[in-house]
Amino acid sequence: MNGAEALAQGLRSAGLDTVFANPGTSEMHLVGALAAVPGMRLVPGLFEGVLSGAADGHARLTGRPAGLLLHLGPGLANATANLHNASRAGSPVVSIVGEHRSSLLPFDPPLASDIEAIARPYAGWIRRLERPEEAAEAARAAVAAALGTPARHAVLIVPADVAWGEAGLPDTGGGPLAPRVDPVPDARIELMADMLRTGGHAAALLLGGTLLDGRGSLLAGRIAAATGCRVLSETFPTAQRRGAGLPYLERLPYFPAEVLQTLDGVRSLVLAGAREPVAFFGYPGRPDRLVPEGCGVDRLCGPGEDGHAALEALAGLLGAGSADPVLLPEQRPLRPEGRLTVDAVGQAIGSLLPENAIVVDEAITSGAPCYRFTVQAPAHDWLSLTGGSLGFGLPAALGAAVAAPGRKVLALVGDGSALYTNQALWSLARTGADVVVVVFANRAYRILQLEYANMGLGSPAPAAQDLMRLDTPDLDFVSLARGFGILAARADEAGEFTRILERALAEPGPFLIETVV
Amino acid sequence: MNGAEALAQGLRSAGLDTVFANPGTSEMHLVGALAAVPGMRLVPGLFEGVLSGAADGHARLTGRPAGLLLHLGPGLANATANLHNASRAGSPVVSIVGEHRSSLLPFDPPLASDIEAIARPYAGWIRRLERPEEAAEAARAAVAAALGTPARHAVLIVPADVAWGEAGLPDTGGGPLAPRVDPVPDARIELMADMLRTGGHAAALLLGGTLLDGRGSLLAGRIAAATGCRVLSETFPTAQRRGAGLPYLERLPYFPAEVLQTLDGVRSLVLAGAREPVAFFGYPGRPDRLVPEGCGVDRLCGPGEDGHAALEALAGLLGAGSADPVLLPEQRPLRPEGRLTVDAVGQAIGSLLPENAIVVDEAITSGAPCYRFTVQAPAHDWLSLTGGSLGFGLPAALGAAVAAPGRKVLALVGDGSALYTNQALWSLARTGADVVVVVFANRAYRILQLEYANMGLGSPAPAAQDLMRLDTPDLDFVSLARGFGILAARADEAGEFTRILERALAEPGPFLIETVV
């Protein structure tokens, strides 16, 4: 077998079964080999940022890495912005990056680049293959590295001559690799128990990362029931299980003043998988750290640690193991009629969201009502933009749909954010992904219009305004979606939007709704 | 004045008058300042790869850097793939990259990243501003660095507190900066004269880089007339002046076997601004270096050197200063009728290309006939994909149109390549750019279908084929273009294509034609 075949079999044996791929000439042997491995799914994308966002979405739902097949340094560079988001989400990802054959590199051909340097900002593990014989072992090592503590992006650079060279008959067995976590030291758990026991209503548990799954939230709800502490969630959850049958978690807002208002009165903040609240951006004369003065901040657990076991132990120490958490009953908002506002879109979604749906939220300024109106919808998962790098929503919806067949995916995207990786629409069509896309077409980078004022800059000059407006000409998302082969419709009125959404949710396959809000 | 204002004025005083921009919250003061500088043009883009490709196109026509305004590390990362192409083209570019205020960075907010590390693979100069007082000087230094020897990508990282901080009244004068080149040593020119004098018909002058402008080509034509040497052009010219009234240059082909065939019989190859011919990709059992055995290779000049002066001196030494080069007379192909093939598209373009047009060629497998059928068209400039990183064509056409108002731009793009940075279509619409886009819709990554076979892999399995096909569903470029606010039409027949092209060339503003070939 050749190096590419050994690599492909090594990846598969380690449990990697999905590769989002955009190969070039230097990856042709890898394509041939990956296509030949039983149980390996190849998903094509027309731009590499689509692939990396999809891998992030896939990882958030499965806890396992998907692979990326990328063409040399520029292919990896195109994937980078969504690798930033994946890195902030703690998602495991394995990138297979082709490289020129070794003998060609000294001639510095046009597509040569320093792949390691391009990988470094967002890779926790990088290995360049030297010989085909090591390909199978290296593939397993890459998956193991991605599943390490903490989970990370692992990059395997594969020169073409390693891919086509003879690898012998390497051992490609060994069984799938599982995610790893380190235990949280008992002393730390005991300290946090003291904090929450003495803090009462002035203590708060801030959940984040993997602890926002149902299990973590229920444990936190028990602790709250036993101690009276508040339970909060981080602003941009990686994947939050929420809705009816789960405890209510107060979400930290985005703007600094609102975060401080939310945390007012908290004297002791315990971080469980979340980071200390800080400003997303700095503003002249306003604070960076968003914790009330005099409030203590302590960490129960962070990335790569077994937060679930720690929360369970914490609940035990607090006598909360059998406490009854307050669980939200199912309650849906009424179907909206009349003017189509972001609130109306939120109500419509809240009134219709299917059981066990997956919501991917990159709606930026338009997303808050959707989150609010689904708080008591049937239980679902909510994925958000962890790293702030735009272009996450559509790709992550693709990855979620590939990861969770049979579940409906709802992608909420701003018109600005959707454009960064709009090519994902074609991959949705190609794979028949069960995704309903709702585009909030406010014809602007609305967040920038708000932030320009927040910076104290007053009203922007026309040349500055031009950089924040998406009109002149208006984008037509229905036309764009059809260009990519997706059914689409536009809604201008709330009742109309609700009817279109209802139909889209009832039909399998992708559908895009442009809402002019 | 604040740091952002000092920076903006410094850039403008150094001669930078165009900034392709996609800012975020951390760049709001920069937006305000750049918008307020007289004579500074801000061009919005919906994805940063559009901006960097536009800056490359702009630089190729003006010889001067355009600016990029980018949002933190991920914004820079999105610009990277086209910075690869710009770097291979030797295009000067100045990136202004926002950064969080210094006091926020220790808290590692969600959008924090190692901007220097992201910049490093494609930056020849990087500077992080520490104080507002240095902003004006640093801006001029960045433009000077971009115009250095060789020209390069210069990156200025601007923390938000430097942008909004008080800069005092810095000196922002000093006048525009000019590109710099180093002289070529006389001894080298004399050696090359010997080579060409003794080589006769077995000698060849391979032109590349800036020497493919009309002046360089005419000098090479004189030398050929005096010595009998052959004159060739590199495979992917940065910006070639060509057509009627200029000498014919034989273009080196793309595939290795054809390059070797073209160079058959050459015993002495003199490189003038071009690099030694090497394979674009390696193939099992085939050579990397594409120079006939026994052929000597010598370099007259490379990037950052004054190749024009060197060619002039060379012509003088060879007594070619007043030789008459063979110049191509204008001759257009007939307007095609019948089946729409890539040849027919080439004929139509050759029959209609306006005087002094700018052609941007990213048509990959479909581009060769267009190049061939325009060889005797009225003089025009031909920009090609120097670095092989897809997504150059539409952005570069935007940059060319902004750089050269009054000239018609023709963008030739493959369906696959166009998709990488399709958002450029909106910027074309917003700016009313005088660009006709011809999309070759072969519904495939055709080059990969060829290369898979070239690698000796035979016929791809269905899962491998799936990665090379752009059908299922078909992309509809007319619909995509309309979604971005651009007029568009589809042509299925050669006469129809010719009529649509004729009308599109006659009207100002952007127009897209999808050719189903």
3-state secondary structure B278-300: ECCCCCCCCCCECCCCCCEEEEE
Q: Does any domain span residue A171?
A: no
d(CA B99, CA B105): 9
Examine the pLDDT at A172 and tell me if it is beyond 80. Answer: no
Neighboring chain B residues of A164 at a CB cutoff of 8 Å: 284, 455
| Dihedral, B422, B428, B429, B435 alpha carbons, nearest 10 | -110
The pLDDT assigned to B173 comes to 75
Yes or no, beta carbons of B460 and A416 under 8 Å apart: no
Q: Does any domain span residue B433?
A: yes
The pLDDT assigned to A321 comes to 86
Q: Does any domain span residue B111?
A: yes
Yes or no, beta carbons of A278 and B78 under 8 Å apart: no
Question: Other CB atoms closer than 10 Å to residue B383's CB: what's the count?
Answer: 28
End-to-end CA distance of chain A: 57
Q: Does any domain span residue A475?
A: yes
Interface test with B, best of A389, A425, A452 (most B CBs within 10 A): A389
Burial class (CB in 10 A: 0-12, 13-18, 19+), B178: exposed
Neighboring chain A residues of B483 at a CB cutoff of 8 Å: 475-483
Q: Does any domain span residue B503?
A: yes
| Dihedral, A15, A18, A21, A27 alpha carbons, nearest 10 | 40
> Stretch A136-152: mean pLDDT, rounded?
97
Q: Is ipTM > 0.85 here? A: yes
Give the gap in angstroms from C-alpha B247 to the nearest C-alpha of chain A.
Answer: 26
Residue at A169: amino acid letter: L
Yes or no, beta carbons of A455 and B29 under 8 Å apart: yes
- Which residue, B301, B317, B333, sits at the end of a domain? B317
Torsions phi, psi for A393 (to 5 deg): -60, -60
Yes or no, beta carbons of B78 and A73 under 8 Å apart: no
The pLDDT assigned to A261 comes to 97
Task: List, in sequence order, every beta strand (DSSP E) within B57-166.
Answer: 66-70, 93-99, 125-128, 153-159
B392's CB contacts (< 8 A; 6+ apart) are B53, B56, B82, B85, B360, B362, B385, B417, B421
- Closest CA relative to residue A173, chosen from A16, A14, A66: A14
The pLDDT assigned to B265 comes to 97
Interface test with B, best of A26, A28, A487 (most B CBs within 10 A): A28
Q: Does any domain span residue A32?
A: yes
DSSP B27: G
Torsions phi, psi for A99 (to 5 deg): -145, 155
Alpha carbons within 13 angstroms on the beta-carbon side of residue A284 total 18
The DSSP bridge partners found for residue A159 are: A99
d(CA B340, CA B348): 10
Yes or no, beta carbons of A457 and B28 under 8 Å apart: yes
Q: Using CB atoms, which residue from A386, A452, A476 is nearest to B110?
A: A386
Torsions phi, psi for A98 (to 5 deg): -70, 160
Give the gap in angstroms from C-alpha A17 to the nearest C-alpha of chain B.
Answer: 14
> Stretch A167-193: mean pLDDT, rounded?
94
Verify that A142 and A241 share a domain, yes or no. no
Verify that A374 and A453 share a domain, yes or no. yes
Verify that B355 and B489 share a domain, yes or no. yes
Helix, strand, coil shares of chain B as percentages rounded to 5?
40, 20, 40
The pLDDT assigned to B172 comes to 75
Give the gap in angstroms from C-alpha A207 to the nearest C-alpha of chain B.
Answer: 16
The encoded tokens of residue B280 equal: 């674009």
Examine the pLDDT at A173 and tell me if it is beyond 90. Answer: no
Burial class (CB in 10 A: 0-12, 13-18, 19+), A331: exposed
Neighboring chain B residues of A50 at a CB cutoff of 8 Å: none
- Closest CA relative to residue A400, chosen from A35, A124, A141, A89: A89
- Which residue, A284, A317, A350, sits at the end of a domain? A317
d(CA B21, CA B41): 10
Verify that A406 and A505 share a domain, yes or no. yes
The pLDDT assigned to A74 comes to 98
Q: Does any domain span residue B329?
A: no
What is the mean pLDDT for each group of 10 consecutive residues in chain B (517 residues)? 97 98 98 98 98 98 97 98 98 98 97 98 98 98 96 97 96 89 98 96 97 97 97 97 97 96 98 97 96 97 96 97 94 97 98 98 94 98 98 98 98 97 98 98 94 95 95 97 98 98 98 96
The pLDDT assigned to B365 comes to 87
Yes or no, beta carbons of A477 and B460 under 8 Å apart: no
The DSSP element (H or E) to which B51 belongs, if any, is helix B48-62
Interface test with A, best of B29, B288, B439 (most A CBs within 10 A): B288
d(CA B177, CA A223): 66
The pLDDT assigned to A114 comes to 98
Verify that B7 and B145 share a domain, yes or no. yes
The pLDDT assigned to B369 comes to 96
Contact between residue B419 and residue A46 where contact means Cβ atoms under 8 Å apart: yes
Residue at B506: amino acid letter: A
What three-state secondary structure class fits B359?
Answer: strand
Verify that A190 and A284 share a domain, yes or no. yes
Where residue A352 falls (left for φ over 0; alpha for ψ -120 to 50; beta otherwise) is alpha
∠ CA B54-B55-B56, rounded to 5°: 90
The DSSP element (H or E) to which A54 belongs, if any, is helix A48-62
d(CA A468, CA B31): 10
Q: Does any domain span residue A9?
A: yes
Domain count, chain A: 3
Burial class (CB in 10 A: 0-12, 13-18, 19+), B127: middle
Peptide bond preceding B150 in cis form (omega within 30 of 0):
yes
> Stretch A481-506: mean pLDDT, rounded?
98
Verify that A280 and A155 share a domain, yes or no. no
DSSP B396: H
Neighboring chain A residues of B473 at a CB cutoff of 8 Å: 426, 429-430, 484-485
Neighboring chain A residues of B88 at a CB cutoff of 8 Å: 110
Contact between residue A211 and residue A304 where contact means Cβ atoms under 8 Å apart: no
Give the gap in angstroms from C-alpha B334 to the nearest C-alpha of chain A.
Answer: 33
d(CA A259, CA A261): 5
Yes or no, beta carbons of A288 and B467 under 8 Å apart: no
β-pair type (A409-414, A435-441): parallel
Question: Which CATH number goes with the domain that contains A353?
Answer: 3.40.50.970
Give the gap in angstroms from C-alpha A447 to the nearest C-alpha of chain B.
Answer: 8
Verify that A143 and A236 share a domain, yes or no. no
Task: Please state the length of chain B.
Answer: 517
Contact between residue A299 and residue A191 where contact means Cβ atoms under 8 Å apart: no
Return the residue of B nearest to A108 by Cα: B278
Separation in Å, CA A385 to CA A45, A320, A513, B98 = 20, 33, 21, 20
Instruction: Give chain A's mean pLDDT.
Output: 97
Verify that B384 and B504 share a domain, yes or no. yes
Verify that B241 and B383 share a domain, yes or no. no
Burial class (CB in 10 A: 0-12, 13-18, 19+), A505: middle
d(CA A53, CA B311): 50
Verify that A15 and A132 share a domain, yes or no. yes
Burial class (CB in 10 A: 0-12, 13-18, 19+), A217: buried
Examine the pLDDT at A387 and tell me if it is beyond 90. Answer: yes
End-to-end CA distance of chain B: 57
Q: Using CB atoms, which residue from B80, B84, B457 is nearest to A28?
A: B457
Give the gap in angstroms from C-alpha B172 to the nearest C-alpha of chain A.
Answer: 22
Question: Which CATH number goes with the domain that contains B250?
Answer: 3.40.50.1220
What three-state secondary structure class fits B321?
Answer: coil
What three-state secondary structure class fits A251?
Answer: strand
d(CA A380, CA A397): 14
Yes or no, beta carbons of B74 and A88 under 8 Å apart: no
Task: Please state the length of chain A.
Answer: 517
Tokens 């109309």 label which residue?
A496
Question: Other CB atoms closer than 10 Å to residue B506's CB: what's the count?
Answer: 10
Give the gap in angstroms from C-alpha A317 to the nearest C-alpha of chain B.
Answer: 31
- Which residue, B270, B302, B317, sits at the end of a domain? B317
Return the residue of B nearest to A33 by Cα: B464
Question: Other CB atoms closer than 10 Å to residue B124's CB: what's the count?
Answer: 16
Contact between residue A421 and residue A445 where contact means Cβ atoms under 8 Å apart: no
Give the gap in angstroms from C-alpha B349 to the nearest C-alpha of chain A.
Answer: 26
Neighboring chain B residues of A284 at a CB cutoff of 8 Å: 161, 164
The pLDDT assigned to A361 comes to 98
Neighboring chain A residues of B430 at a CB cutoff of 8 Å: 472-473
Torsions phi, psi for A374 (to 5 deg): -110, 10
The encoded tokens of residue A142 equal: 């890459």
Return the residue of B nearest to A21 by Cα: B467
d(CA B398, CA A46): 21
Verify that B152 and B192 share a domain, yes or no. no
Residue span of the structural domain in which B13 resides: 3-164
The pLDDT assigned to B464 comes to 96
